[in-house]
């Protein structure tokens, strides 16, 4: 199967989302596109036009290029434990949409997330302590699981992970005037998603609604 090549000038947020959905379907079907990666290195040596920026967790089981079946130069891949927001993450995403022209921001959590488990269990460890503190609101806001609200409860952990994705989207909109303006004028979309580490399937959640 050959990779899909689309003129960057024709790219839209909806098309970018469809490319990710199609890529994940290829990945989970075992039909990933055949790519000449060295040729792609040569083609992108003078510039890049990634159609999407993906903020995801650093988990080794969730490499964005692979699970979305994308090649060199196709997506920005921003990874940090717990897919949390920071000024550096926001700056990177602002570059993606305002300078490089990416049409979609995908914020992706995943099942069985170690960072989420750590936040649920109030882990303290060096600089990780402050990172996990960014997840604590999502732990508190998950109110459907009333028993065993710890990292050993996989259902609780995965529900917190989804809330944490939505929290990151909210923070992005609140803390970045650049990103907010691009969403509000329809230039880009922000989409929350969850990756299942047991199946390879990405579930794309409701699109962010703006007033």
Q: Flag whether 206 is marked binding.
A: no
Q: Is the pLDDT of residue 143 over 50?
A: yes
> What's the CATH number where 198 sits?
3.40.1050.10
pLDDT at 6: 77
In terms of pTM, does the model score above 0.85?
yes
Is the residue at 3 inside a domain? no
What's the pLDDT tens digit per position in 181-194?
A: 999 999 999 999 99
Q: Residue 175: which domain range?
A: 10-204
Is the residue at 162 inside a domain? yes
pLDDT confidence band for 8 (50 / 70 / 90):
confident
Is the residue at 185 inside a domain? yes
pLDDT at 210: 36
Among 8-12, 29-33, 146-150, 206-210, which stretch is predicted with the lowest mean pLDDT? 206-210
Q: Flag whether 7 is marked binding.
A: no
pLDDT confidence band for 206 (50 / 70 / 90):
low
Is the residue at 36 inside a domain? yes
Is the residue at 5 inside a domain? no
What's the pLDDT tens digit per position in 158-178?
A: 999 999 999 999 999 999 999
Is the residue at 4 inside a domain? no
pLDDT confidence band for 209 (50 / 70 / 90):
very low
Is the residue at 88 inside a domain? yes
Percentage, residues of the chain above pLDDT 90: 92
* Count of structural domains, the chain: 1
What's the pLDDT tens digit per position in 127-137?
A: 999 999 999 99
pLDDT at 9: 84
What's the pLDDT tens digit per position in 68-125?
A: 999 999 999 999 999 999 999 999 999 999 999 999 999 999 999 999 999 999 999 9
Q: Flag whether 120 is marked binding.
A: no
Q: Is the pLDDT of residue 211 over 60?
A: no
Is the residue at 118 inside a domain? yes
- Distance between CA atoms of 180 and 163, rounded to whole angstroms? 20
């Amino acid at each position: 199967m050959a990779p899909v090549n689309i003129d960057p000038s024709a790219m839209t947020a909806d098309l970018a989302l469809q490319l990710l959905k199609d890529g994940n379907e290829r990945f989970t079907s075992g039909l990933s596109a055949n790519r000449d990666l060295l040729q792609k290195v040569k083609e992108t040596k003078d510039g890049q036009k990634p159609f999407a920026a993906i903020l995801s967790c650093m988990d080794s089981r969730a490499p964005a290029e692979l699970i979305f079946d994308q090649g060199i130069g196709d997506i920005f891949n921003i990874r940090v434990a717990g897919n949390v927001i920071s000024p550096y993450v926001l700056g990177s995403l602002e570059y993606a949409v305002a300078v490089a022209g990416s049409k979609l921001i995908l914020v992706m959590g995943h099942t069985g997330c170690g960072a989420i488990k750590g936040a649920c269990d109030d882990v303290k460890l060096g600089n990780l302590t402050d990172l996990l503190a960014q997840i604590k609101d999502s732990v508190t806001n998950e109110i459907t699981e009333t028993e065993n609200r710890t990292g050993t409860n996989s259902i609780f952990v995965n529900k917190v992970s989804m809330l944490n994705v939505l929290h990151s989207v909210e923070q992005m909109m609140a803390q970045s005037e650049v990103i907010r303006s691009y969403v509000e004028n329809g230039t880009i979309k922000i989409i929350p998603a969850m990756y299942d580490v047991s199946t390879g399937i990405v579930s794309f959640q409701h699109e962010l609604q703006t007033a």
